[in-house]
Every structure is written in C-alpha cells, then in structure tokens.
Structure 1
C-alpha cells in the first residue's frame, strides 16, 4: 500500500521514488540501509528464520493420553511409588523423543527447501551493483532482475525489456505475464492486472527489468497469504479426536475405580491401598499405546520418504487412509509436465503424428501408421516454414536435450525440440536468419511474433504463433507451393476452428502458425520503428501444431487403484475444457459405465465444468448436484477452495494437491494438503505432505501406506485395550476377596500390573504395527468414522471379558479348589510370607496365564474375523511371516518365568511365589482362551456380512 490508501501500481515511477526516498538511477544510499532494516525488519516470511525445536517439542505433549500419563506419573511419585512413576516417565519421554525427532527432521528438510527460494538479490546502492542476501532487501532498494531470477520483494517496475514473469504460484495464470511500466489508474486492479508490478517469489521467464522494492517480508503479497494461513486453525484428524475422547473417558473411569478401591476398603488410606488404587487407575490406561502409535507412524514416514513423499506431520498418515476424494491438478502430477509436439495439421492435408516424447530430439512423422520421409516433408514449403517458425519464434534454449539441460517456457521448449528433430533448431539459423525484434505473447492478442532478417536476401520475415487470434491476421494460404488469397474468410475460419476442436478433444493444446515477409521499403518505416500492428498483418496461414503434456504411464494405474479403493479422483486444471476432458478420459478419471464398452460416456451428471460455470452456482445449487464434477477446467484458486467446501458439506474427506502460493488456502482447508516439491514455500508450509517427484502415483502409494498403518493401529489398539479390559475386570472383581482384617487381597500386585502393560503388551503391539499390508488394502472403501468402530469396541469387550473371566476362574481354582482357601493377612505386602503362600502362588499362576493369553491374543488381532487355522487369519503359511511378532511372543512367554523362581525378586518385588502343579491350570486356561476366541470369530463370520475395515 502506498500513500493515501492508494496501491503502488497506481503511482507514476517518479512518485514511487519520491515516497520511498530513493533514486531511480543510483538507488538507496548505503548509510540509509541500516535504519531501514531496523524499521522494516528482515525480508523474510514468518517461519523462514528456521525451525523452533522448543515449539516442535511442546507439540508432543498436547494429546489427551500424554496429559493423563503425566498426571498418573505425578500421583505415583507423590505416593512414593517410584518404580511405577519411573516407568510412566520413561513412556512419556520415549514417545516425545520419537515424535520430536521425526517432526524436527521433517521441518529441517522444509527449512532447507525454504532457503533455496530467492537466496540472493541484485541491488543498486550508491550507483553500484551489488549482490546481497535476499533478507537484506529493504523498501526503496533498486532491484535488477534478469531471466531466471526469483523476485526477492514486491517491486514497482521502472524499466522493462521483453519482460515476462511466471506468476502462476500467486495468480493462477498458467502462462507468463508480459510486463510494462505505465501507471495503472484502476486502484483496485487485481494482482494479475497489475502489469507494472512484480511480486516476491515469482520467476522471470523472459527479458530483464529494474524495479523499486515497495514491500518486503510479511508485507508482500505472498506474506499476506502466509499470515492468513497461519491464523487458520488446523483441524485434528478423526483418530486424534477419538484418542483424545478415549483419554478423557479412561481418565474418568480411572478416577471412579480409585474411589471404588477406597470405598471397598472403607476409605482406609494405607500405603498398599493407595498403591493399588493408583495401579488400578493406571491399568485402565494403555501406557504403551501412544509410544507404539508414534513409532509405527515414524516407521511409515521413513518408508514413504524412500518413495518420494515427505510427511511433515505424523498424524497425516492417519488422515490419508480416510481420504474419499482426491483433487489433483494435471500438469506435472497426472502428466509428465514436459510439453511435446505430437500432431501437425497443414491446410488441405490429413492430421500428421509426431513420435518422440518429452525432450527427445529424435522422432518421425507418421500419416496413420506410415512413416513419412523427412526430405519429402521439408520439400513442402508449408512444412518447412512451420518448422522454421517453431525454431525462430521462440525464446527457449536447448544445451543438451537428452540430459535435460533446457530452459524456457515449456511450450517453447516443445517447439524447439520439434525443430531439432529435423536438424533445424535455432542454432542452425545463426548465420542465415538474424533475429531483430520480438513481439512477446500478451493476454490481449494471445500471440507472439519474431521479426527476422534473411541475411542472404534483402527481405524481412515474420514468424507468428499463438491461439485462434492468429487466424484474424491471416489473409493467405499456400497451395501448390504458391501463396493465394483466402476466398472466404468465414469458410476458412470454420474449417480451421473445426480442426482445432478435433485436436483439443485429443487432449492437445493447439497453436496456430503463420508467416509473412516484407522488404524494409514495403514496411514504410525503419526496422527499429516497426510497431506490432505493422508486422502482424496480412500473414500466410501455415498450419496447426498440437502440443501434448503426456500423461504419466503410471497415472492410469493409480487412478484405477483409487476407484477400486472407493476414492473419487477430481482433476482441477487451468486447461481448456476439451483438453481437460481428453486427458481425464485417458487417465481414467472419466470412464464408461461398467456395463458398456463403447467409447462415449453418458453419465447421469455433468462430469466436466469450467470454473466459470462452477463458481456461478450458489452453495445450494452445488449441493443439489447429483455428483460434484470430476473435472473443472480453467480452474482458479478460489474454485479449489469452493470445491473443498462442497466436499466437506457432503461429509467427504478430501485431499488437495497444489504448488502455488495461491493454492495455499485450499491446501490448508483440505483434510490432507499435498504440496509439490518444486512448488512454492507457502504451499509446502500449508500442507501435511510434500511430494518430491510431483507424481500422482506417489499420492496413491501414500494412501495405501496410510491404510496399512491405520489397519495396524486398529490391530494393536484392540490388543492393548482388550488386555486392559481383562485387567480391570480381574482387579475390580478381585476386590471382593478379603483377608481376616477385612481388607481386599489384590489378585495382581502393582509391579505385576506394570509388567503386563509394558514388558508383555507393548512388544507384540509393536510387532502388529509393522504388519505387511493386506492384499485387500486398496480394494476396500475408506474408513472415515475414526478409530473406534462398533466392531472394534465389541471385540475389546468380548476378548477382555473372556480373559478376565478365565483369570478369575484360575484365581479361585488355585486358592479354593486346589488350595486351602486361606487368604492370609496383609498379603498385599511381603511381611507375612508363611500365611500368604497360597495367595502368592495364585498370583504367579495368573501372571503367567495372563502373559501367555495376551501373547496368543496378538495372533488373534492379526485379523478380526478369520480363524488362525486359515491362511487369511495367519495360518501355517503366515504364522512366521512377521518375524518381530514371533520373537516378541517367544521372548515374552519366557520373561515371566524367572520372577516366579528367583528368590527375593518373586516375593519382595512381584509379591508371588514358586509354583508346580499350577502349570496344569496355566496350559488348560490358555487352550480354553484359544477355543473361546475361535468360537467368537466363528459367530462373527456367521452374523456379519460386510468386510471389516
């Protein structure tokens, strides 16, 4: 913003210089710069100063489970239960460390990407040109810009030469914008119409310029967008919300259970009773859950990083599995992003095909399946001039096409490569054609022309290419090698436009090519004074060039995977409607109905709309559509936001791709924002995932990985929570067993509870977290209802009741059926070993039974319905497929045995005793648990018909 509320583009150059106290020739004085830097601060976006490790670390303690574990640890230390408090502290620190390392690494990677953007700037100070670090630029600095430069600040242009700037990241305009220096009187002109301004982080694609920096840092247009995004609160994922809800519910239950313990024991606040109340409360909370989730997600992030997907937030993996709709751009994501000339049409001839993709400078011309001879083609004056125009009306440069050393506008690179296929690239004309004046592409005339002088003859040649507007300045065609007047301009226009339509429907971007020649005397003016209207008139129509952005070979397979997985793919592109429709059909976004093999598609809704059509609809009209459009052509950033909002109103879970600054709002609003590695810094900051290869197939891979991780999280959550349910049943009902003094005799000692929760439960849960993906993982619909579905809750209760019931049965059998029924006195401590022998033996028995049950239960959890005897359920062929699970079960089964037989450790710490005949009860109980589990699964298979997800 300039003075008096006016924008900088509305001021004359002299007025801008006066307001910013700078000189248009010498720039700022060096002595003034420190004061200006102090006033305006560094030229950086918020967050570019680097990663704040404290902020990342603090973020690890913001979920409900961690908060409750912290409270439990504090209570444990308060009652001097240092063993329990130490274990809880270890769990909390371990989880925070793993999460911190992962997210800090991701943010450091993002920081490195940020530093790549506009690292230096060329400024004139005190009349001298100097290259400085971009953060050192201040308002009033005189900036020098050349082709390839990234603009370091918002600048009012004061001098331009053939300047074009790629502003797609900011305005959405797909083509570079030609710039000028004249003031624009309309004060509220849109960014795209402010032709005398260049903006921070945009890139020069052609020409050079000088400008005065008028805004830096967060005051720039990109800074304003960054600020608005940072003020937008991020939504938590369904799993985060469910885990937090679960934490609060468990916290309430743990408080209730603690009250029950004290009530049953007549509110005697003895140390052993307090310890038991704390232990029972902690038994409700799955201490290992957040640690296992964090580790499993971190492993998933590492796996995805090797496949070109950088995950900035661990929770994004859970979000990915719930995606129901993916809104993807086209260029470089579904397509290769390398424009290629694939078709030619010369007036009066059939459409020709060109082979050779991308930047391959070898290829052939085909008429249907027949290869045409290059020399015969070049003998046709129309074809030869069309190739010349491709080479000369062009600003792209090719140093080494096969090695990818090219630069320039992608369309012009495609034309230059096309010329190279006939050994007629720009360098071959260096001695014969002198390029004099370029008339750049503009959004008004939609064409570009190059005026050249034929060195061997006294004449000038005009090469023109562009959109259909070129046809308006053509009044001749070539027939039989000679130029002839167009008899009927209307018929001519209809014929060519019909061919343009045909090529557009083939997914091609179509360029019209024309040619003219003139003597200097015929032009009536000296060469340097020729105006555009003098050159672009009375031209000869040569033909049409069809340029194709070839779909990636893997895109169709990836889209097919999405449809099998119940994910709808939408393509939001800036392309023409017909071109977008053709590409959408080719990659499978729009497909025939399943029962029809014919090519035509007659859907029940309009699958393709333009942004203008979509934006014209009200929210109510959009919601009344049978389906949202699969393709939106000529898409704008605002259209992307409306699309996400429309999906959310339909209760869909949406992923959005983008790379420009203007994509940041839609990336932030989407449930999963996916930025491109070559995109803008703001887009990356607004996203959860960054694709380093810009490939749509990588998105599908990420969704598959997210589903695998979510499926595994459900497995170990079932394992951990059902075990806790069993523990709580045993510990609560166990309160009914009282000794002679009327105090409850605890079935499990506090150390035994922690042992079960940490040493026994966590390793197999971790092993379940690294299970390989099921072959059905991408053949099922998305799971959008969060972690705790009805089936999972039913399984938790069922398995917990089975375990708890069997454990209590064993407790009764050891004490009453086979023992003396003596519950002793003060058997919650180790002060009366002789009288507590039966109780201690019963504790040893149920500790081993509990340990072996929950280890076997890990195999139950590999699949919620299939029997262990079947291949799908983990039968003989899959029992040993998860080596970590095999090791954790085997080692876990051995761990409880030493504490039973090692003197002092057994009685003083674990409050248990050696056993002998009780091993029979252990074996029978484990077999009984296996049978009960198989019966439960059998009943589920008979009752439930839908596939578990």
Structure 2
C-alpha cells in the first residue's frame, strides 16, 4: 500500500525514533518545526499529510471488484450448474450450454452488484463514524477528522476524548488518562509536562506522553502529535494482530442456518424428482439438468446477502434523518425496543439554556440588571470554559454558555475580563462533586469563584454577600428557594467566591473550595424541543415507554416530564439516592412503573438497564459522557450524542444522534421497523416463489403429467423473479400504522405471524394454477403446454409481489404507483417474459413457442388468481381485527 511505502521515509523514521519523553516541550516543537502558539498552517499540514499518510490503523485489505465478481461463481450449486452446462455441450445440446452460461453470468452480475453496493454502503458508514479532534492550526481552533492529523499538530484534550494520536504533552490541567487498553494499568494516570530522564521508561511511566487509543477521563490538556497511524504505539501492536472478520448480524445468522436446512430439504426433493423422472423413462441428462436447475433456483443462497444490502442501505437512509448506525445489528434491534431511556438536556430539550431568574440578596430577580453584584457577574463570566469561536458565537457546555451570555448581557465579557483577571488554576467540574472552581488574579490579589449544585456548594459557604457587607448564611431559606425555582422547571446553580491574600499551592482543591461567600442562585431554563412532545406521543402509540433520566433536580425533571407527557402528576420521581439504597431485586419490582429519574449518576444507568432487561424489556439508552459508556455498551441499543457527546460514548454506542434529538430516536425506530418489514417481505416473496417451482415439478409426475418445465425455464424464472422485483421490495414505503403496533418480540422467529403458512399455501396455489394450465393444454391438445406453464408460474409471482407489499392493506388502497421501482420491475419482468415467448431469436434458446391470444389471455387470468386470493386473505385479516 502507498501509505506503507511512505513509512520508509528516512526523515520520518528518524523522527519517530526520537525519545520524545526526554525532550523539553520547546525541543519537541523545534524538532517538529511547529510554532507551539499557533500550530501548523494549512499548507504545511497538507504537505505532511501527503508525506506521512492518513492517521489510521491499517485494516486487512478488502476484496477488490474482480475478486468479488469471481466469488459469485464459487458457490457449490453454481459450480454444479456450470458443470451441467459443460455436459450439455459435450452431448450436443449447445443451446442449453449457451443459455445456462448466460443465466449464470447474469446471476453473477446481480450478486456482484448487491455485494458491491453493500460494501460501499458499509464503508461509507465507517467514514461517517470516524472520530474528530480539536486542533490548533494557524492560530485558531479547528475540528479536524482524526484521519487527517499529522505530526506537529497541536491537539486539545478534554475529559471524554479518545487520544487521536501519540502526543507529547505541552500543557496539562489536572489531566488524567485511562491507559488500560495499552498498558494494562487499571487506574487513570495523572499526566504532567515534566521531562523524564530514563531513556527506557515503560509506556506506563511516561507521564508527559499520551498515546493513541487511550481515553482522557479528567481535566484538560494540550499535546503535540509526534506519531500517527501505524507509527503510534497502538499501530505497532496492530501490526502483530490479524484483522477480525466482519461479524454477521443475528438476522443473517438465522437466515444462513435456515438456508442450510432448506438446502438439505431441496436436495432431497430434487433427488426424488430425478429418480421419478428416470422411472417414467425421461432422458437422464434432462432429469439431471432439471434437478440441478431446481436446486439452484430453490435454495435461497442470496438471502443473507440481501439482508446485508437492506440493512446497509437502510442505515445510510437513516443518516439522512440524523441517525448514524455504527453497527448493522442495531437496525434489526430497533424494531424490538420497548423502553427508550433518554437524557433530558439537549435530547428532550433544546439545549439552549438561558438565565431566567436570579436569587440575590434574599430576593428573586428576573433577567439581568446592571445593579447585580460585580462578584456575581464576574463569577458568571470567568468560572466556565465557554468561549467565542471564529464567528463570534459562544460555544461550550449549554449551561456555561448561558452563564457567559448572561454576563455579556450585563456588560461583563469573559474574553475581556480574562485579560485583566487571568485564570491561574482550577478544580474542574466532575459528576461526583458537582462543583467547579477557578482561581484568578486581579489588582487586589487572588480570587476564587465556585459554582455548582446548591446542596453541594452551600455546605462550603460560611457567609453570604450583601451590598452592606457579609451576612450570616441562612442555608434553609436558600435551599427552600432553590426548591421553588426547580419546581418551576429551572435548573438551579449556586455561585460563591472568596478572596485570598496568597496564592494556594497547585492542585490544592480543598483550599480553593472552603470558607466561601455565597453570592446567589441562578435559574436556567432549557425548554422542551417542539417536536419532542409529538415524538413522546408516537412512542406511546407504538407500545414504547419513554423514560427521562437526568442529573437535574427532581422537581426540574418532573416539570419537564409533565410538559412532554412522559409523566403525570401522580408519577413518582426516583432519585439516584433512592437507587443507591435499593437492591437490584427491589428495584426490579418498581422499574416498569418509573418514568422519571433525577439526580442520577451516570454509573446508575447500568442498574436501570439491567433491571429493565431482567424484566424482559428491550432498552434504548442515551448517553454522552465518559461514564455513560458502560450503560451504552450493555443496552440493547446504545445511543450517543453526535454534537455534545464524548468520543468514548460514541465508540461504545450502536447509534449516534447527529442532532442530539429525542425525536430522531423515534424516527430511527420507525425506520428500523420498515427495514425489518421489507426484509420479511422479500423472504416471503422469494421462498413462496421457490416453493411453487418445487411443488410444480414434484407434483406433476404424481398426477400423471410430464415434467412441466425445462432447466432453462427454471433458471429464467429464478433470474427474473428473484432479481429486480425482489430487490425493489427493499425500498417499499412503511406500512400504515407501523407506529401503532407493539414492538416485535426479539426472539420471535422471522417466520412468525402466519408467514410460513403463507409460504406453504400460496406456493401450493401457484403450483396448482400452473399444473391446471398444463392439464387444460393437454385436454385441448395444445402443443404449447410447456410455454403456458412457464408463463403462468412467472406471472403468478409478479401478482404475488404486488399483493404482499402489505400484510393487511389492499394494493388498491396503497396505490399502484406508491413504489415506482417495484412497479417498474414488474413491468420489465412482464416484458422480458413476452420477449422469450414472441421474439423468434429467443424461442430456440428458451425452448418456447408463441402463445395464441386466447392462450395468453387464459394464462393472464390464471396468473391473477394468486393476486386475488392473497388480497382476499388480507381482507379476512382486516375483518378479524
């Protein structure tokens, strides 16, 4: 491969052999020729990408188009058919040989197109799922695809990011990295920028390095890329490993097992037909070709491939609806989801918080006013990581952007304040403390600002701010006010500050977060998404239970849940503390009735998922954080956020919401049901037609009729009926009421709900009308009896494919033009069938004769019997319900 050759570049090899952990940051920057203040410019990064190749772990080389095409002819039954064609040629039946060759090649082309499209679709999904990184290039922060990173790039790391390449750390702020995948170290490693002195230091001791594939779990950092792709430590390990094969989906596995069992049955029937034909005095070569052709036509070897095409193309269609499927089995699982456990912020709500109310100096105030205490406004502006992007838009955590914008509206812009009050240290927010503190310096000395959950911050405060001077803190009154604000659907944060005469020692979190002065409360509103209410209603009609899980206050959670219709006034709200005090067995007794969880720690999501699964439910769980990854992994459908989600959450998930919208999950469930329905329709259609061909040849001798079809007829029927019409079913629109029916039980057989009975009786019906045509031709002494059977069997399947577009709704109500690809395929098949009957040059090849007008009309009438009967079956089903 080209990338492999480029790795042999002497200059590159020299760079990658450098002991980076022994170098000072400035030395590493000089060695890589990069400005640590601005990063690489666009031209230089592109030049290095061309020289070093993409930042990717090389996969095993996939089959090329030629090998893929040749692979279509390696199936055992196809090989037998090819040998049968050769035998036909040797005994002088050259027309049979040519016809068989044409059929085999056409089948190969169709199979190649299916596999090639599936490969391209899956590859496209993988490209869409590729991670990104925040990179400093040309003095500005940019989002760059991880595969486009190059040595010398400056990468910003935050908690939850997967390290995209091997980094020399230039700056850290309490950065911790989980390196278990690389070093086996079970606990996160705290990083520093200090230079090491040991040349042979093991990877786990190189605290000033971060390696590709490891996970930042705490704090922030800035690193310079020193190795990419196969030159990283992870890449060196990858060289020793063989690439795993793509695993088949559960549906594919079930179809493969079914196919093998059916193959044994079909081969047995073919052997019987062959033996009966010999006993009736039929030519052995003819009976051999007939048996082989029937086996090839009847064995549904393409079903697993068709399911892959349907799943992959369906997954690509979901991308257009903002649902990125990372694992194909998820498409199947979506149809079985019974519970959707969703985050509130950003998923059910707009993720556009605003500061709506303040509690300052023991009074409530609406909006922002200029007379607010300066320390409060400074805390809003400086105690967060929100920032302005290149377009001047404030970006960052929704809560922090709301606080930042509130300060800006009052005339306190954090970007300007930080120049006069720079941040010297910080204690980052984490899900356990629910606090964040920053240390700043101003003209008067040092000042600490802290924000967090009121119940966590107030115990750290010893007084409260007042214009007239510090006042005693009435904790009970403040907490009561916080409860009242939360009951109105506001997210409540407390703010505090203190001044210090001296700067505390680095990393002294306790010194920063003690003896604080309470400044006030801020109430933030994140209103529900307009489409979320409709999506919740749709869930309920589909038999799916929506559940809200949030870290917010219980009253806030219930207020939003009430507005969305997830809960009612009598619904209980279970808190993280309640969960902690319950055993799994106790919780399982209540889990089916709980609709709102509040103050839940991310790790408690695992308990919720397990309890629901133990009750037989199929769970879709959303998450965006590092700690959400275990719950996403064990959920039946793990759903991560595409906008605010961490890399870790996305890697653990089955599906990524590109718009972080709850309604998108419901849309994906809807699409998953449609895809599964269409796969079932294809299986019903293909197996019914195949069984009809078997019954026709199997029953004819037992009712005193000669073998009704020649090998070329069987192969032709298989080609034109299982080809375009079958594939066109994959794009069938969803059935009416698809979201008004309960979820499909996950262990339910694909042949449930009367499908196998339909395959049996409709296959017998097709065979019956075909044999009736043969008998009628015999009675009327028509020499064209074989062409009549051939035509009736082919056109019956066209009527069948139109009728089974829905299990219940009549075709006349659906509309003939509601699936134009299928209508086009049926018309094309009809035209091809007429061509082999009436085009003189084709008649010798297909052993056909032109039917008279009366015979053609008779065949059309018989063929329509199947369509009419299936429509009656659907009418009966509708009447019963």
On whether the aligned pair clears a TM of 0.5, the verdict is yes
Are 2:732 and 1:771 equivalent residues in the alignment? yes
Taking the TM superposition and a 5 Å limit, the aligned residue runs for 1:258-269 are 258-266=270-278
* Partner residue, 2:820: 883
User: 1:326-365: per-residue Cα shift (whole Å, max 9, x none)?
Assistant: 3434444334444432331224323x44xxxxxxxxxxx2
Query: Compared with structure 1, are the counterparts of its residues 95 and 553 closer, same or farther at alpha carbon in structure 2 (3 Å cutoff)?
Result: farther
User: What is the CA distance between 1:164 and its match in structure 2?
Assistant: 4.8
* Counterpart pick for 2:519 among 542, 554, 561: 542
**Structure 1 residue 903: deviation in Å?**
3.9
- SS of residue in 2 equivalent to 1:732: helix
What is the distance in 1 between the residues matched to 2:256 and 2:228? 43
Deviations 1:702-760, CA, capped at 9 Å, x for gaps: 2212222222333333333222222222111113366xxxxx83111122222222214
Q: Distance in 2 between matches of 1:332 and 1:87?
A: 55
- Partner residue of 1:87 out of 97, 103, 115: 103
Task: After TM superposition, give the deviation of residue 633 of structure 1 in Å.
Answer: 4.8
Distance 1:266 1:50, change over 3 A: same
Deviations 1:346-390 (A, max 9, x none): 24323x44xxxxxxxxxxx2xxxxxxxx6xx433x54x5422331
**Do structure 1's residue 796 and structure 2's residue 739 form an aligned pair?**
no
| 1:601 and 2:571 aligned | yes
Larger Rg: 1
1:489-535 alpha-carbon deviations (Å, 9 max, x no partner): 5xx111112222333444544322235568xxxx4x69999998888
Counterpart position of 1:782: 743
Residue 116 of structure 1 is aligned with which of 132, 135, 147? Answer: 132
8 A Cα contact 2:99 2:846, kept in partner: no
Alpha carbons 1:447, 1:470 under 8 Å: kept: no
Matched, 1:552 2:529: yes
Query: Any conservation in 2 of the 1:331–1:337 contact (CA below 8 Å)?
Result: yes
Given candidates 807, 813, 819, the residue that maps to 2:770 is: 807
For residues 530 and 684 of structure 1, what CA distance do their matches in structure 2 show? 31
User: Which residue of the other structure, out of 694, 701, 711, is the alignment partner of 1:750?
Assistant: 711
Is residue 164–residue 206 contact of structure 1 (8 Å, CA) maintained in 2?
A: yes
Counterpart among 73, 76, 79 of residue 74 in structure 1 = 79
CA contact (8 A) 1:767 1:888 kept: yes
1:107 aligns with 2:126: no
Q: Which residue of 1 aligns with 2:471?
A: 485
User: What per-residue deviation string (whole Å, max 9, x for no partner) do you get for residues 844-885 of structure 1?
Assistant: 2222223332222233213334xxxxxx41226723333333
CA distance in 1, matches of 2:236, 2:594: 33
Q: Name the CA distance, whole Å, in 2 between partners of 1:464 and 1:591.
A: 34
Query: Could you tell me how far 1:77 is from its partner in structure 2?
Result: 1.1
Deviations 1:816-864 (A, max 9, x none): x222xxxxxxxxxxxxxxxxxx4x5111222222333222223321333
Cα distance between partner residues in 2 of 1:310 and 1:196: 36
Conserved 8 A contact 1:655-1:673:
yes
Decide whether the 8 Å contact of 1:169 with 1:661 is kept in 2: no
The correspondence for 1:513, drawn from 492, 495, 517, is: 495
User: 1:369 corresponds to which residue?
Assistant: none
CA distance in 2, matches of 1:881, 1:329: 37
CA–CA separation in structure 2 for the residues paired with 1:106 and 1:305:
12
Task: Give the superposition deviation at 1:789.
Answer: 1.2
Q: Equivalent of 1:303, from 290, 307, 317?
A: 317
* Alignment RMSD: 5.2
Give the C-alpha shift of residue 933 in structure 1.
3.8
Segments of structure 1 that go 5 or more residues without pairing to the other structure are 1-18, 32-43, 123-131, 138-142, 183-193, 354-364, 366-373, 593-598, 739-743, 820-837, 866-871
State how far apart, in whole Å, the 2-side matches of 1:723 and 1:526 are.
Answer: 83
CA distance in 2, matches of 1:177, 1:499: 41
Please give the alpha-carbon distance, in whole angstroms, between the structure 2 residues aligned to 1:195 and 1:700: 45
Residues 664, 649 of structure 1: CA spacing in aligned structure 2 closer, same or farther, 3 A cutoff?
same
* Aligned equivalent of 1:726: 692
Q: Decide whether aligned partners of structure 1 residues 170 and 777 sit closer, same or farther in structure 2, where only a CA change above 3 A counts.
A: farther
Asked whether the equivalents of residues 451 and 493 of structure 2 are also in contact (C-alpha less than 8 Å), the reply is yes
- Corresponding residue for 2:370? 378
Match of 1:677 among 622, 642, 648: 642
* Aligned residue-pair number: 799
Alignment of 1:245-284 (within 5 A): 245-266=257-278, 270-284=284-298
Choose the corresponding residue for 1:715, options 681, 691, 716.
681
Q: Distance in 1 between matches of 2:231 and 2:554?
A: 37
Cα distance per residue 1:749-797 (max 9 Å; x no partner)? 1222222222145433344332322331111112242421141222222
- Work out whether residues 692 and 764 of structure 2, in 8 Å CA contact, stay in contact via their aligned partners in 1: yes
Look up the match of 2:538: 561
Q: Does 1:853 align with 2:796?
A: yes
Q: Tell me if 1:627 matches 2:604.
A: no
- Deviation digits for residues 601-629 of structure 1 (CA, Å, limit 9, x no counterpart): 25xxxx634288269634x5555446275
Q: Work out whether 1:388 is the aligned partner of 2:325.
A: no
Equivalent-residue separation in structure 2 for 1:104 and 1:510 (angstroms):
49
Q: 1:69 to 1:854 in 2, by over 3 A?
A: farther
Aligned-partner Cα distance in 1 for 2:66–2:648: 23
Q: Which residue of 1 aligns with 2:407?
A: 419
- Matched with 2:657 is 691
Cα distance in 2, alignment partners of residues 30 and 436 from structure 1: 28
TM-score, with length taken from structure 2:
0.75
1:610–1:55 Cα change, 3 Å? farther
What is aligned with 1:499? 481
User: Secondary structure, in 3 states, of the residue corresponding to 1:341?
Assistant: strand
- Which residue matches 1:921? 858
CA contact (8 A) 2:219 2:428 kept: no
Distance 2:690 2:579 in 1: 56
How do residues 893-904 of structure 1 correspond to structure 2 at under 5 angstroms?
893-903=830-840
Aligned residue among 764, 780, 799 for 1:818: 780
